[in-house]
Amino acid sequence: MPFPVEQQWIDDAESRLGVKLPASYRQRMTRLNGGDVEAMGDVWELYPIWDKSDKKRLSRTCNDVVRETATSRGADGFPQTAVAIASNGCGDQLILLPNEQDPKILDETVFFWSHESRGIEPVLEKVQ
């Protein structure tokens, strides 16, 4: 079950990822650290932000966005600058990509990455 996360853990995730997360994603995670989002007729499970404030939150957030991004970057054809934010449980990912003008900031647009075709396509204007 998703629960709020404190700003310090979002800041920590940004530091470990080396990029600034989009405002809509930060707001969603602050309110509900994880949960589901619908895109492309599928339900996607958002990766939580790692929260080590207590043992219960630590265990609930061990599949955090930083860990899942690192794992995804090891997959053939996964964009190395992308941040994986959700999975449909079948190997596909919802990802965020860097802004063209400033690669240290991720765009609001959410993209679908197919593990089969290695293709990328926009699916959401922002995380809600």
What are 38's two structure tokens?
A: 């619908």
Q: How far is CA 32 from CA 5, 9, 13, 19, 29, in A?
A: 7, 13, 16, 21, 5
pLDDT tens digits, one per residue of 53-106: 888 888 887 899 999 999 999 999 999 999 999 999 999 999 999 999 999 999
pTM for the model: 0.94
Q: How far is CA 11 from CA 3, 25, 56, in A?
A: 17, 12, 20
**Given a cut of 70, is residue 2 above it in pLDDT?**
yes
Is 2 part of any domain? no
Q: What is the pLDDT of residue 103?
A: 96
104 occurs within a structural domain: yes
Residue 1: inside a domain: no
| Residue-range definition of the domain harbouring residue 109 | 7-124
Average pLDDT, the chain: 94
CATH code for position 50 = 3.40.1580.10
Separation between Cα atoms, residue 102 and residue 118, nearest integer Å? 24
Q: How many domains does the chain have?
A: 1
